[in-house]
Amino acid sequence: MRLTALLSIGIASALSGGEARPPDVRTTTFAERVAADPVRQRAATKQLAFPLISTLSHVPDPLVVEAGQQPQTPWPDPAAAIWRRLPWLPRFDDYLAKRKESSKPEQVFTRVDWCEKQGLDDCAAFELRCAFKPMFMDFMNPAYQRLNTRWLKYAGRFQTPWAFPLPFAGTWRVVVDQTGHHRIKAGATFAFDAIVEQAGRAFTGNGRALTDHHTFGREILAQADGVVIVAEDANPDQPVGQAGGYGGANNVIVDYGGGVRGLYGHLQQKSLTVKVGDRVKPGQVLGKTGNSGASGQPHLHWTFVDHDHISIVGNYRFEVERAGRWTLCESGPLPEGALVRNPSSETSKP
């Protein structure tokens, strides 16, 4: 079986909550991951295709895809418009009819409840994603949080089809999210914050200066080969303890192919070494950690996101420190509070 066919099976399994352990992303290339994306394949049988929420003004409704065809969209590349494709079920006829009966935005929970009662969880997830669009960054809005509470039931089903290395060299501490601030944002549900410690401390002296913090100015690395789609580093770094606005965080987003993108935030002002459109190699320096945006102290915030910038579960290949010993994890989530690093045999930087 061709590698692209194997990749396509793996991507479809991961994006639908499959149990197979994701392979090491280093066994693939960006071109292979793009070619294997399930939304790009011709349908073997009749399917239902859900558009991306970023394209709802052009493709407002799910599309029926006949066997041997691809979704008919305004874009030649289906991945620019389609989120997921599912094998056709007879109940989809009822679902499409229900959408027309209760099409108003305020009826979203009516549609979601109906989908859940019919066992159409993928349709329920799509309805919630659509409802997020007009308020995607307004996560302090009670209406947003009502949607988010329902979305959390489905969010964990979508994960990276590959295990990625960590986006840094050396040993870092995964910060415990004690306030749950990631879980209240669809764009950060599965995000991690990480810092560098020395002798168990995040900074020297009183930590009031940015340069007191061991994390400040650390290099952030591409986790695979890909293409830079966002590169922003004009925003100033905030003084320690004085968090700025959520829109003021410098960040880089790299498209790794197959519907997976890596987002790296709170980067240092004027530290980026890449620009939009650049092709990057695994381990290439993207920029440096800083304290821009809503950040109280220097740290790296990162997550994998889909094409709608909605956070998906990340699978990682890393070593974790337990009782003074380093243990290899071939694929899985990061343990909060733990010290982690890339496998020592694959890391050349201290």
For residue 117, how many other CB atoms are within 10 A of its CB? 9
For the chain, percent of residues with pLDDT exceeding 90 = 89
The average pLDDT across 115-127 equals 98
How do residues 84-98 score in pLDDT, each as one tens digit?
999 999 999 999 999
327 has a pLDDT exceeding 70:
yes
pTM: 0.92
pLDDT band at 243; cut points 50, 70, 90: confident
304: left (phi over 0), alpha (psi -120 to 50) or beta: beta
> What pLDDT was estimated at residue 3?
46
Tell me which DSSP letter residue 57 carries.
T
Spell out the domain ranges in the chain.
Answer: 46-155, 164-346
The rounded Cα 263 to chain-centroid distance in angstroms is 7
Is-contact 15 84, C-beta < 8 A? yes
Is-contact 7 28, C-beta < 8 A? yes
The average pLDDT across 177-206 equals 96
Element (H, E) at 61: none
2 has a pLDDT exceeding 70:
no
> What pLDDT was estimated at residue 12?
55
How do residues 142-187 score in pLDDT, each as one tens digit?
999 999 999 999 999 999 999 999 999 999 999 999 999 999 999 9
The average pLDDT across 219-242 equals 97
- For the chain, how are helix, strand and coil distributed in percent, rounded to 5? 25, 25, 45
> What pLDDT was estimated at residue 6?
44
Chain-wide mean pLDDT for the chain? 93
Q: Which CATH superfamily is domain 164-346 in?
A: Glucose Permease (Domain IIA) (2.70.70.10)
Lowest-pLDDT range, 116-120, 135-139, 168-172? 135-139
> What pLDDT was estimated at residue 11?
53
